[in-house]
Amino acid sequence: MRCYICNKELVDNPVGDDQCQTHGEHIIHNGIRGKLISSKILCKDCGADYSKDDSAFCKIFAPFMVALKDQLNPADHGKDTYKTLPGSLFDSPTSNLDDPSRLVNARNGVVTPVEPYHEIDGEKITVYAEKHRIDQYVNVLATQLKAEGKDIADYTVEKVTNLHGKGYLAYFFSKGNSTFNDDFKKGIVKIAAEYALHCGVPREQLTEVLTINKDGKATFDCTNTKMFPFIPTSLFDVLYENYRYFYEEGYPSHTLRLFSTSYDNGTAALYCYVDLFSTFQYYVLLNGDYKGDEVNETYAQRLLKVEKPDVSVCDPSDLNIFIREYGIDMSQCTATSYAEQLRYVQECIRKYPPQAYDLSAALKNACAKLQSIAIAALCKKKVSAELDNMLDGLLNDAYGKKVVGQVEKQLAELTKNMEFAEAMRTVNAFTESVKQEYYRKFGFDVIDGEVSNFSLPDYSMKFFVEHKNVAEVYTNAKFSHLGCLCYKPETLK
């Protein structure tokens, strides 16, 4: 094993110039709760060289990390450093970024102005400032009033050290960060490249990311790397992503998909799909003329804590459900009584990694939800008005009016010229085609009742180039969903 940057041999205790210290590299950054660690790709010294870039990338997500801090699985090491968030205070929730606002800092629920200010209303003066600055500002204000021939003693002075509730707070994401685009791209591309290396792809195959000199040392450069957003186009992706917070049981999650895709002309490409917080979704082209073995790898993890069940009073049927859910190998259990068996299962559950996430099962469950809504929506066309109203009530109670309405709208467009039987086959074909090994690699169309696939990254790039306005609407909606989870979770219900 060699470091992909310096090309020295990775060992625990280096003794010569041709060896380097092995290092546990977080493929997805520890600062955003990444849990996949590789000790076979990067040495300690080269890893330290990228610490500044890693920190800048993680800082981008500070508004979400701070808001979710009590719900997140703990970091592997270090402390959270993003405690103070810069932002703007607006008068209205519908304000635009260019509208008048006041720069503020937020920390532990306390919102303070960057610069002190005051308002005079008749005989009352309200002063707004941080606690340690407010008295000094009042003294300065008294001097100013005296110069105007006024006495501050003639006023009632109210001191406000927390602007929480005094307007509508918007946190900065990219505003004020002149290197945002570079920091963001470096972080996403580095995740993609290191995941490929972790999966065994030789560094020589990462031609769009690494430049290797004659001495064997590599330089990481993503200046010209093609990175573009995923855009949902097929039925499942459109329905799933627009209400992913409803369909995805592990929302929000981190997901990586590494795959090669072959073309009719005999060439191939190597892509990595990076999905952070179920929101920031990008394809990275690692090699446009890939010559290696076929690749199809997946990594997914939870971000939020999940309460683990107490099985101490479970009956056998319920216990079997937990055994399947947590993938417990009962062949290793030496219990001679049911009580001992319960203790064994409980201990296995306790040791179960909190970030563990079965993407295949999550997709299957999401498909089941979508399929039940879609089939009921199709059946509504074939039943009486009374049963139609009953189905409406059942669907809305189970899934919510917004979710059901969106499925029915998309379905009506897709099946408008189809007979009932063909529409049913189409829905079943779409949901059955969504499997982990195809996820984000292939998109699906239905042609003459048959499902055909197409290269999703290529189509997403083409769609992005031709419809940037649609892509912007989609990415803004995803951003809004995550923002609501962080600051107004009740609006997602």
DSSP character string of 262-305: E-TTS-EEEEEEEEETTTEEEEEEEETT--S---EEEEEEE-B-
Does any domain span residue 369? yes
Does any domain span residue 447? yes
End position of a domain, from candidates 326, 351, 376: 351
Query: Would you give per-residue pLDDT tens digits along the chain (493 residues)?
Result: 999 999 999 999 999 899 999 999 999 999 999 999 999 999 999 999 999 999 999 999 988 998 888 899 988 887 776 678 888 888 877 777 778 888 998 887 788 999 999 999 999 999 999 999 999 999 999 999 999 999 999 999 999 999 987 888 887 777 777 899 999 999 999 999 999 999 999 999 999 999 999 999 999 999 999 999 999 877 788 888 988 998 898 899 999 999 999 998 999 999 999 999 999 999 999 999 999 999 999 999 999 998 889 999 899 999 998 998 888 999 999 999 999 999 999 999 998 888 889 999 899 888 888 888 888 777 766 655 555 565 566 556 655 677 777 777 777 777 777 777 777 777 776 666 678 888 999 877 666 666 677 888 998 899 889 988 888 889 988 988 998 888 778 877 6
Do 413 and 321 belong together in one domain? no
Do 338 and 455 belong together in one domain? no
Q: What is the pTM of this model?
A: 0.85
Does any domain span residue 266? no
Does any domain span residue 466? yes
Does any domain span residue 393? yes
Domains contained in the chain, number: 2
Do 397 and 333 belong together in one domain? no
Do 457 and 436 belong together in one domain? yes
Q: Is 428 exposed, middle or buried (0-12, 13-18, 19+ CB in 10 A)?
A: middle
Q: Cis omega (within 30 of 0) on the bond before 202? A: no
How far apart (Å, rounded) are the C-alpha atoms in residues 329 and 478? 38
- Domain range enclosing 368: 359-492
Tokens of 190: 């580095």
How far apart (Å, rounded) are the C-alpha atoms in residues 275 and 273? 7
Do 365 and 469 belong together in one domain? yes
Do 347 and 363 belong together in one domain? no
End position of a domain, from candidates 303, 329, 351: 351
> For tokens 């990444």, what's the residue?
34
End position of a domain, from candidates 304, 334, 351: 351
Do 377 and 393 belong together in one domain? yes
Do 331 and 365 belong together in one domain? no
Do 339 and 420 belong together in one domain? no
Do 373 and 471 belong together in one domain? yes
Do 384 and 469 belong together in one domain? yes
Does any domain span residue 157? no
Does any domain span residue 411? yes
Does any domain span residue 179? no
Do 343 and 413 belong together in one domain? no
